[in-house]
Every structure is written in structure tokens, then in C-alpha cells.
Structure 1
Amino acid sequence: MLNCLTINSLDSMSQFIEMFGKATERVELSSLCDTFIDGDWIEAKDQSDSGIRLIQTGNVGVGEYKDKEDKARYISEETFTRLNCTEVFEGDILISRLPDPVGRACSIPGGLGKSITAVDCTIIRLNEKVLPKYFISFTNTPDYAMQIKKVLSGTTRLRVSRANLGKIQVPLPSKDEQQTFVEIAD
């Protein structure tokens, strides 16, 4: 299970450990977010052939957005309003709370148009303390994978609750150090 999230490379993993493995300042993920909410509960009966894009867990890759246009789902503007949906924007981070693997994260790219996400994804808008690319890189480390593993629950399908996801401890070096790690990871 520890290998549930991949590392961009062994070199970036060792660089992460070297740079932040002993970081004394760690903060709960939820405290790094201006927005930390689940997506919307959209049933099959609420879906349509066009309109507002529904981003699902299958679109959330390990550190990357997977555009599966052939499997795209949508809802109408009327359904968006009726269900009081939360729009996701370019740059928002989605974390899939279902397998496989649990906890994978990606940033929403531009060009999707008006979009929402499913309830099994958590929408994150980070505050000024953390660089989005740094956070995405962190989600690809063994440290993150071990923390996720400790809070998994479910009998038929493992998942992480949003509350437990919010308690994940994120190393918080300076923004310059975060940027340095992003450059190494890239």
C-alpha cells in the first residue's frame, strides 16, 4: 500500500527527504487552504449530454489532470443552480478520496469551461503559505502516502474522509525552498 502513490523519480524523492524530511514546521492541510470542501453529489438522473463539465475521480491522475473527453459527463445550468453546486476553477487542486490510489491529486487546467466535481473529490484552494506545485509534488511522496494509509477506512472500498484528509501534516518550508523543490521535482 505504501507504493500507492508514485514518485516522479527516485532522485526527487531523496531530494524531498533531504530537504524536508526533518522539517520541524508541519501544518495540517486544512489550515493551508482558503477552500477545503467536497465536490457535489450528482446522480445519473442529474446528468446531461452537454453543459457544465462534471470532473470525476477518473480525471484525477497522480499529479496530473486526465482529460477523458470520450467519457465526459455534464450537468445543465438549471441543475447547477438547483443543486447549489460549487464551481471549480483553473488552478484549483482536486484530491480523489477513493482508489486507486487514494489521495492522488491534480491541478485543474485551463480550457475546460465551467466545471464542477464529484463528491468523492475534495476541492482545495491553497492560501499564500504554500505553492500549488509544491503541494502537488508533496502528494507524490512516501511521507504523504504513509499518512494517507493511516487514515483509510471502508470495508468494501478504501477511502479517506475529508476530515482525515484535512489532518494530513504538510512540511512547510519557506516559499523559496518550496520553489527549489518544485524545480528539482520537475
Structure 2
Amino acid sequence: MRIALIKDVTEFVLDGTHGSPVRAEVGVPVLSAQNVKDGRLNFETDRYTSDVEYDHFKKRLPLVMGDVLLTIVGTIGRAAVVDEIRPLVFQRSVAVIRPKQGALWPRFLYHVSQTREFQAQLARSSNQSSQAGLYLGKLKELRIPLPPLPEQRRIADILDKADALRAKRRAALAQLDTLTQSIFLNIHREAPKSQRVIPLAQIAEASRGAFVNGPFGSDLLTQELQDEGVPVIYIRDIRDGEYRRVSKSCVSERKAHDLAVCTVTAGDVLVAKVGDPPGIAAVYPAGNPPAVVTQDVIRIRVEREVASPEFVVGYLNSSIGKWKVAGITVEATRARFSLGEFKGLRIELPSVELQRDYARRIAAVNEIRAAHRASLAQLDALFASLQHRAFRGDL
């Protein structure tokens, strides 16, 4: 299969505005790399600018259908194809690549950009300073496979259909997340008379260290982490209201013994003290080994006669809980809150029976979620195989 440089098969490669657009309460959306996700451009934003700023942007970079977007600052390599034209202004974190008609099919370029090989090129070409970035000059020099145009369209069509199956599965998982929120809000509305309002600190067991975060900082972590032993839980392991370990770091059994006060066992509630936003919570599931938390993760050992761990997690992840956590969040280098203020948050608890009913319903939803995740993993593996064959010329 022929190999080409991006600069040789595109009309141009440009990035968004380098300045800071004039802010407006309403007007033209200002979008960044955060708006390019899952192969689509999301227009939701809280930043707007004026029509004058939009006119300046449009003169330099008039978007057309089929332009390919690629994120080049921060999280590098997410992509989308423009399939809707609206007034907007891109910041410089998004590159716009316009394929040459008759030479490069936009959907083909999109799929090439998501391959392991192309992503590796991006990583090698990026400037890994305080914030990862990719210069346009280096982007133009990247290499892509280039079969004849009809073959590009055929490959893109096959991969689009396979990707659509994955998108449907992801949408089903998103619907389950919505269902989880609805179950919580229904329980919350069902029992206004039986609810108690207490500080979060009072849901924890009376024993010392029932409500703690990890005691050690980055220097100690660097010195004492190892590849095997007792797992260390980071905020990245708490996602979408669930504990799903992606970290690899561990500490020795001896070190874990020294850190016994922040050990995690099944049924403990984990809360991310730092994040975007902070406050995401999860129950540490049965079947996982004892672990320890870092300084950015709170561990709550819940008093079961007062609260259900699942209900506490549902509360913190609900719109109500997020609103309360936002009230104690400080916007520094990274958004965070203090352990003391978090303990003082007052939450509404229905009867323990209703909380346990909520936990039973959530367990049923989680079984369905696990099945969807397993199916999505199979679809991801199939898609990766198709992708590999397609750009090797075997599809």
C-alpha cells in the first residue's frame, strides 16, 4: 500500500485561534479539544464570544463538511469529521485538516488517525513539556497509508459500520447511567418524612481511621512504589461511579501494614478528592484484594446501621451530591476540596430499609452493565482486528 505525507494529500492543516476570544454571556460557542470526543464534535460549552470574533476566525478558517478535526494540545489524537456547519470558534488545541478532493477521503483519514501506528507517530512527534502539544509542522510530516480513493471509501464504510455497533453499546451504557440516577432520585423523593439530615462524618464507623485519605505524598510514592504487592488506589481508578483499576502501582506488605489506617476492603466507599470534577465516588467491590489509598482518595468505612455504602455513593454521584461538593471545591491547579469540609457536608438519608432497596436495584443494573461492558470489549477487539487488516491491505 502506498504511503503518503499528510501535507501532500491535504489542502491545509491549520489550528484554532491562538488568542483568547473576547468573552460573551451568549453568542458564538468557543470550542476546544475537550469538545472532540468519541469521534464526534460536541457543541456544548459555557464559553461564548462575539460575532466579530467569529468573522475573524471564519476568514482565516472557514469550516466545510468533511474537514477532519484532531486534538493537538493536552490529550493528543482524538479526532472527528465535521458533519454539521454551525458558527463556532476553535481554540488552538484543535487542528483542522482539509483532505484534497480526489486524493483523500475524510472518513478514511479519520480512521487512520485512530490507529495504533498513527497514534504512536503523534506521541513521538509531540512536545512533552508541562502540557503535551503537537506543532502543525510535525503533523504535516506524519505518514499515512494511501490506497486508491475507491478503496479508501470501501475501508471507511466497513469501519464506520463496525464503529456504529460500538457506539450503540456505549449509548446503552450511558442509558444505564441515567437509569442509576433516576433510581436514586426516586428513592430520594419517596421518603421525605423518614429522612435524617446528618454530616457525612456520622455515616462512618466509630473506629479510628474510618474516614481518611492516604497519608503520603508524591516523594514517598516515588521511593516506595513497586510492581507487585498491595495495590495503591488513585483517583483515575474511580470512574463513572465505579471502581475499575487502571493503575499498576503497589506497595510492599510491610508498607501496607504501616499504612493500615488507610487500608481499603470490600464495601468501603472511595471518593476522589481531586478531579474534574472532584467528588466522584465508588464502592470498593468484593473480590478485590485489600488496597491502600493515596492522599487524593478518601476512604469511608460506613456504619451499616446508619447508611448503605451503595446509597452513599449514589448520593455523592447524583446532581444533589455534586452540587453540594461544588460548594466546598477550590479551583487551584486542580479542582479539589479538603477532607475536613467534606466530612462536614450534610446529607439526607432515608431509612436503612429504603437504602438497602436502592442497593438491590443498583446491583441488578450493575449486572446488566457488566454484560454490556463485556460485549463492548468484544466489539472493540473485533474493530481493532478489522482496523489492523484494513491498513495492512488485507480487508
TM-score normalised by structure 2 residue count: 0.42
Instruction: Name whichever of 175-184 and 152-161 sits farther off.
Output: 175-184
The higher-RCO structure (CA 8 Å, 6+ apart) is: 1
SS of the residue corresponding to residue 48 of structure 1 reads coil
User: What CA distance in whole angstroms lies between the structure 2 residues aligned with 1:36 and 1:49?
Assistant: 27
CA distance 1:183–1:74, shift in 2 (3 Å) = closer
Among candidates 338, 345, 357, match of residue 180 of structure 1? 357
User: What CA distance in whole angstroms lies between the structure 2 residues aligned with 1:126 and 1:23?
Assistant: 20
| % identity of equivalent residues | 21
CA distance 1:110–1:181, shift in 2 (3 Å) = closer
The amino acid of 1:126's aligned partner reads V
User: What CA distance in whole angstroms lies between the structure 1 residues aligned with 2:184 and 2:256?
Assistant: 41
Correspondence for 1:3: none
* Cα displacement (A) at 1:183: 4.5
The amino acid of 1:32's aligned partner reads I
In structure 1, list runs of 5 or more residues that go unmatched.
1-5
Correspondence for 2:237: 59
The amino acid of 1:27's aligned partner reads I
Whether the aligned pair in 2 keeps the contact of 1:87 and 1:116 (CA below 8 Å) is yes
1:138 and 2:309 correspond: no
User: What CA distance in whole angstroms lies between the structure 2 residues aligned with 1:86 and 1:155?
Assistant: 25
Instruction: Name whichever of 105-114 and 143-152 sits farther off.
Output: 105-114
Correspondence for 1:33: 204
Residues 41-71 of structure 1 deviation map (CA, whole Å, 9 limit, x = unaligned): 1521110111111111111123211122xx3
User: What CA distance in whole angstroms lies between the structure 1 residues aligned with 2:185 and 2:312?
Assistant: 17
1:98 and 2:274 correspond: yes
Matched ranges for 1:58-137 at <5 A: 58-68=236-246, 71-81=247-257, 86-127=262-303, 128-137=305-314
Whether the aligned pair in 2 keeps the contact of 1:144 and 1:168 (CA below 8 Å) is no
Residues 26-46 of structure 1 deviation map (CA, whole Å, 9 limit, x = unaligned): 111101101111123152111
* Bigger Rg over Cα: 2
Provide the aligned C-alpha RMSD in A: 2.5
Aligned residue-pair number: 179
* Cα displacement (A) at 1:86: 2.8
SS of the residue corresponding to residue 211 of structure 2 reads strand
User: What CA distance in whole angstroms lies between the structure 1 residues aligned with 2:256 and 2:329?
Assistant: 31
User: What CA distance in whole angstroms lies between the structure 1 residues aligned with 2:257 and 2:184?
Assistant: 44
Correspondence for 1:47: 225
**Normalized per residue, which structure has more helix?**
2
User: What CA distance in whole angstroms lies between the structure 1 residues aligned with 2:259 and 2:318?
Assistant: 36
CA distance 1:100–1:22, shift in 2 (3 Å) = farther
User: What CA distance in whole angstroms lies between the structure 2 residues aligned with 1:83 and 1:24?
Assistant: 36
* Cα displacement (A) at 1:16: 4.1
SS of the residue corresponding to residue 270 of structure 2 reads strand
In structure 2, list runs of 5 or more residues that go unmatched.
1-175, 366-395
The amino acid of 1:29's aligned partner reads L
Matched ranges for 1:147-166 at <5 A: 147-166=324-343
The amino acid of 2:272's aligned partner reads S
